[in-house]
Amino acid sequence: MLAQEKEKGLLDYTADLSKFGYKQELERTMNVWQLTAFGLNYMVPIAPAIIFGILLQTSGGTVALPYLLAGIAMLLTALSYSVMVRNFPLAGSVYSYVGRGWNAYFGFIAGWVLTLDYILIPTVTASSSAFFAQQYFPDVPYWVLLAIFSIGTGLLNLFGVELLSKMGLWLLVLGEFVVWASILVWAKAVHLDGFGTGTLFSTQPFQFESLSSLIAATSLAVFSFLGFDAITTLSEETRRPKRDIPRAIYWCIGIGTLTMFMCGYVGMLAIPDWKEHISDETWMNTVLFQVSKMTGGEGFAIFFTAGYLTELAVFNLVATAAGARLLYGMGRDTLLPKSIFAKVNKRWKTPHWSIVIIVAVEFILGLSSNIATLSNLVNYGALFGFATLNLSVIWLYYVKKKGEAPLSLGSVPNWKPTGWRHLRYLVLPLLGFFVIVYVWISMDPVAQLIGTIWLAIGVIYLIIKTKGFKKLPPHLDV
């Protein structure tokens, strides 16, 4: 009986896919816990270690507050994601949700800009891995270490998402153990050894230069929360996407915010005087390694680095997987070359050319760019996509009036929100939009300029591809 119900569920979602004009090509293996592990491996525990120094420098003294504020902002957008995945359980994330909920052209632009996230974020992690590894292997050239972490881990995606799902839960346990063990060691050094502030209760981790610097740091902290968005790219590889993906998103936001907040709080308690090191690029890129070495000695620093590099490798796996699914969704709709980006390997059921392209770009950019610039540029795409997604919820339910009712009401099509449900489908998405825009305008000006140039290129490409907004693939003509 259980097997029959499981098979029926899979058939139901295959039918859901066919009504959008697609056929089931990817294999449905993921459940809610595997999705949660996938998202959290994308978010924590490695995210704070990557940009800790950049957040500290940008805010002027706090890492915990930017993570807390970013977590609240992401929760508002996560509510909109859960609405859209129930309406459109498709690969492609923001590209699919904005394109079908609002407008196909806007969807392409949102997806185009979001590619900055999924192509650049593995570059950031691979570069950070190389920096950390050089602390112990200074004689190994940077490009060799970069190749190991970018090409070596990225190409494992060719063997399928099932490999990630089986490894994910165990690797998450390992990662969470490393980060919470580190927090405890830092706290012990502060509380018992009189290190840093000498007390576990201090306002020092909440100090910042100005409101503008805090908001700028918050916009950068969004970088660490992109795991919940990555979950949605696996909609066509999830057994019950309408139920399990929203649940996994909320778990990721909650656990991720708590972990990163505590890491930022206790980490700052342990740093005697961070301003003395602000001009040292290596120190700023490896702050938590330096903290671990100061508080736990060389042996603990090795433990932290080994765990960190392992989790960065896992991160690269899931980041490349998510990015490949976004490109796959756009390629399947012929808005990118279909013969390349929508090509699925017959044996492993993976979009292999999308994976190879991401890995190649990751390695090339990692040789020539710095972590701070890339991190800010990643967030340009994320915040742009999040803003359009929030507006798409409102457009779908109040302008097009074609949204589905929540699962508790039976997923009735063309449903109209009434009473208190206006809060869920109108007020909260609108609030999420304004919060995202406020954070977006506080971004690094250089990242805004480069991101806007990328946006303009996408608009020009779309005009040419659609013959002046006059042509779309049949299944996108909505």
| C-alpha span between 261 and 65 (Å, rounded) | 7
Residues 381-395: tens digit of each pLDDT: 888 989 999 999 999
User: For residue 209, how many other CB atoms are within 10 A of its CB?
Assistant: 14
- State the pLDDT at residue 16: 63
Q: What is the pTM of this model?
A: 0.79
CA angle, corner 59, sides to 73 and 291, nearest 5?
105
* pLDDT value, residue 476: 56
Residue 238 pairs with which residues in a beta bridge? 30
DSSP 62: -
For the cut 90, the answer to whether the pLDDT of residue 431 exceeds it is: yes
Question: Which pLDDT belongs to residue 1?
Answer: 42
**Residue 132 structure tokens:** 């950390």
The pLDDT, as a whole number, for residue 264 is 93
At residue 59, the pLDDT reads: 93
Q: Identify each DSSP E strand in 312-427 by its residue range.
A: none
Residue 24 maps to a domain: no
Separation CA 301–CA 310 (nearest Å): 14
CA distance 93 to 40: 17
Task: Output the DSSP codes for 182-231.
Answer: HHHHHHHHHHTT--TTSSS--SGGG--S-HHHHHHHHHHHGGGGTHHHHH
List the structure tokens of 203.
């306002």
CB 111 within 8 A of CB 354: no
pLDDT band at 46 (very low <50, low <70, confident <90, very high): low
CATH number at residue 206: 1.20.1740.10
At residue 238, what are phi and psi to the nearest 5 degrees?
-110, 140
So what's the pLDDT on residue 208?
A: 93
Give the residue ranges of DSSP H helices in 25-103: 32-43, 46-59, 64-87, 94-101
CA dist 20 and 267 (Å) reads: 48
212, part of any domain: yes
pLDDT range class, residue 4, cuts 50, 70, 90: very low
pLDDT at residue 8 in the model? 45
Residue 31, pLDDT > 70, answer: yes
Mean pLDDT along residues 88-98: 82
Q: How close are the terminal C-alpha atoms of the chain, in Å?
A: 39
pLDDT band at 160 (very low <50, low <70, confident <90, very high): low
Is residue 418 over pLDDT 80?
yes
CA 33 to chain centre: 17
User: CB under 8 Å to 172, separation ≥6 — which residues?
Assistant: 37, 40, 41
Is 137 in contact with 423 (CB distance < 8 Å)? no
Of 60-74, 151-165, 403-417, 461-475, the poorest mean pLDDT is in: 151-165
**Residue recorded with tokens 């999040």:** 386
pLDDT score at 45: 58
pLDDT of residue 261: 95
Tell me which residue of 34, 425, 74, 75 sits closest to 248, measured CA to CA: 34
Question: Is 349 part of a structural domain of the chain?
Answer: yes
Residue 14 placed within a domain = no
Cis peptide before 45 (omega within 30 of 0): yes
Rounded CA separation 158/137 (Å): 29
The Cα 90–Cα 476 span in angstroms is 13
Question: How far, in Å, CA of 355 to CA of 379, rounded?
Answer: 21
For 293-322, write each residue's pLDDT tens digit: 999 999 998 888 888 887 777 777 777 877
Confidence label for 11 from pLDDT (cuts 50, 70 and 90): very low
Q: Say yes or no to pLDDT of 271 above 80.
A: yes
Angle between the 211-221 and 371-394 helix axes, to the nearest 10 degrees?
80
Residue 26 falls inside a structural domain: no
Task: List the domain range (segments joined by +) for residue 320.
Answer: 32-476
- Over residues 234-263, the mean pLDDT reads 89
pLDDT, residue 378, reads 80
Q: Residue 173 in contact with residue 36, Cβ under 8 Å?
A: no
Closest CA to 90 of 294, 332, 267: 332
On whether residue 217 sits in a domain, the answer given is: yes
The pLDDT of 128-145, averaged and rounded, is 85
Within 10 Å of residue 279's Cβ, how many Cβ atoms? 8
Residue 3 pLDDT more than 50? no
User: For 225-237, what is the mean pLDDT?
Assistant: 81
- For residues 361 and 355, what is the distance between their CA atoms, to the nearest angstrom? 10
pLDDT at residue 413, rounded to an integer: 83
- Supply the mean pLDDT for the chain: 84
Which pLDDT does position 9 carry in this prediction? 47
CA dihedral 252, 253, 255, 261 (to 10 degrees): 140
CB 186 within 8 A of CB 267: yes
Q: Whose CA is closest to 161, among 35, 40, 249?
A: 35
Of 73-77, 185-189, 364-368, minimum mean pLDDT range:
364-368
Residue 474: per-residue pLDDT: 52
Between residues 165 and 321, the one the model is more confident about: 321
What's the confidence (pLDDT) of residue 13? 55
Domain assignment present for 27: no
pLDDT of residue 235: 83
Range in 17-21, 87-91, 150-154, 467-471 with the lowest mean pLDDT: 17-21
**Residue 15 belongs to a domain:** no
- How far apart are the C-alpha atoms of 99 and 338, rounded to whole Å? 18
Total domains in the fold of the chain: 1
The conformation of residue 406, written as its DSSP 8-state character, comes to P
Cα–Cα distance, 118 to 322 (Å, whole number) = 7
